[in-house]
Structure 1
């Protein structure tokens, strides 16, 4: 029969494994690749369980002991959710920027005209999805999935299970990342937006010269043509901006996690 010492050790391992599972699953549900709706929740949970077991075996002895009180464990679970979510949110920032840029282009070109008539219409952002798929391929080509695993394993040493606090530096880092996302989105969308702006000004001048022309109908057709042409011409620029942004966001993601440790 198992003695009380063995039972306490097993229960401690189980608690450590559960907390690690919460951190990993939060990353998978919010971070890049696995947060996409095409990935089934059972796949995310299954991978989280496998990784949690591996990480418990590798780092279980390095983690401090815990108070087994229900309220203490509930607080630790909530903390692990925040750590995993912060890491996943920071790593997913570049994809937010890409989708935001795609949404701007879709609306300006006219692919989301339905939203003008029905604000609740569930219209997918076509260019946003295209750019998101390209960004995902760049992410995988840069071994971003390897970085996700490395960051998750490294986070256990950077922020042990009992050492967590929402620090001022962590909040300022997240705010700075949000600002950076907006700047990157504007960089990605600016060539097409600028081209469409010039086209709109030209058509406005044309309507003054030849008011008999139906400029409104022509503008909708020209927007699609000009927008798509400039979009495909500027794909190399999009690749460069996205690749550089991903490189910087990988270091920023880990900086956010490091800032969650009040002892650093």
Structure 2
């Protein structure tokens, strides 16, 4: 039979494994790729269990040095949930920026007109979905999925299981993330938006010179043609900005985790 010391050791490892599982699963449910609805919850949970087992063998000695009452364990579980979700949120910001930029372009070009008939429909915008798929390929090409696993291991080292604090620096980093998303979205959409603005001004002047022309009908066609041409001509710029932003958000993800450690 197992003695009391062995039972305590096994129960401690089980608690550590459970807390790590909560952190990993929160990342998979919020972070890029795995948070997509096409990935079944069973797949996310299975991957979380596998990673939790691997990480428990590496960090099994990080047993919380507190009295493990039910309310304490509940607080620790909630803390792990927040850390994993914060890490996944920071990693997913580049995809939010790309979808935001795509939504701006769809609205200005006119592709979003069909969606205005049902405001409650959860239908992705055309250009937003295209840019999102391209960003996903860039993410995989930069080994972003490997970075997710590395980030989880690094988060355990940076923020042990019993340590957690939301400080002023944490709030500052989160606000900076949201601001960066807006800036990157505007950068991605700026070439097309500027081209369409110039075209609209030109058509407005043309309507003053030749009022007999149906400028409104012509503008709908010209918006689509000019928008798509500029979109594909500036695609190399999209790759450069997206790659740079992705590396920035990876660094910000680590910064978010480090800011959650009260000792730093």
Offset at residue 65 of structure 1 (A): 3.4
Measured against aligned partners, the alpha-carbon deviations of 1:4-57 in whole angstroms (never above 9, x if no partner) come to 222221111111111100000110011111111211111111100100010001
Structure 1 stretch 207-216 or stretch 156-165: which is displaced more?
Answer: 207-216
- Name the residue aligned to 1:123: 123
- Name the residue aligned to 2:8: 8
| 8 Å CA contact retained: 2:16, 2:62 | no
- Name the residue aligned to 1:218: 218
| 8 Å CA contact retained: 1:158, 1:258 | yes
For the residue of structure 2 that corresponds to 1:113, the secondary structure is helix
Question: Could you tell me how far apart the structure 2 residues matched to 1:229 and 1:187 are?
Answer: 17
Question: Could you tell me how far apart the structure 2 residues matched to 1:48 and 1:215 are?
Answer: 57
Offset at residue 66 of structure 1 (A): 4.1
Number of positions where the alignment pairs a residue of Structure 1 with one of Structure 2: 264
| 8 Å CA contact retained: 1:12, 1:66 | no
State the 4+ residue runs in structure 1 displaced beyond 4 angstroms.
none
Offset at residue 245 of structure 1 (A): 0.9
Measured against aligned partners, the alpha-carbon deviations of 1:72-127 in whole angstroms (never above 9, x if no partner) come to 01111110011001111111111111111011111111111134443223332111
Pairing 1:18–2:18 present: yes
| 8 Å CA contact retained: 1:109, 1:223 | yes
Question: Could you tell me how far apart the structure 2 residues matched to 1:206 and 1:121 are?
Answer: 37
- Name the residue aligned to 1:177: 177
For 1:40-51, what aligned pairs fall within 5 Å after superposition? 40-51=40-51
| 8 Å CA contact retained: 1:106, 1:127 | yes
Offset at residue 61 of structure 1 (A): 1.2
Structure 1 stretch 15-24 or stretch 138-147: which is displaced more?
Answer: 138-147
- Name the residue aligned to 1:98: 98
| 8 Å CA contact retained: 1:159, 1:258 | yes
Question: Could you tell me how far apart the structure 1 residues matched to 2:122 and 2:156 are?
Answer: 39
- Name the residue aligned to 1:200: 200
Structure 2's unaligned 5+ residue stretches are: none
Question: Could you tell me how far apart the structure 1 residues matched to 2:123 and 2:213 are?
Answer: 31
Question: Could you tell me how far apart the structure 2 residues matched to 1:122 and 1:21 are?
Answer: 31
For 1:9-88, what aligned pairs fall within 5 Å after superposition? 9-88=9-88
Question: Could you tell me how far apart the structure 2 residues matched to 1:184 and 1:126 are?
Answer: 19
For the residue of structure 1 that corresponds to 2:139, the secondary structure is helix
Question: Could you tell me how far apart the structure 2 residues matched to 1:102 and 1:9 are?
Answer: 52
| 8 Å CA contact retained: 1:155, 1:257 | yes
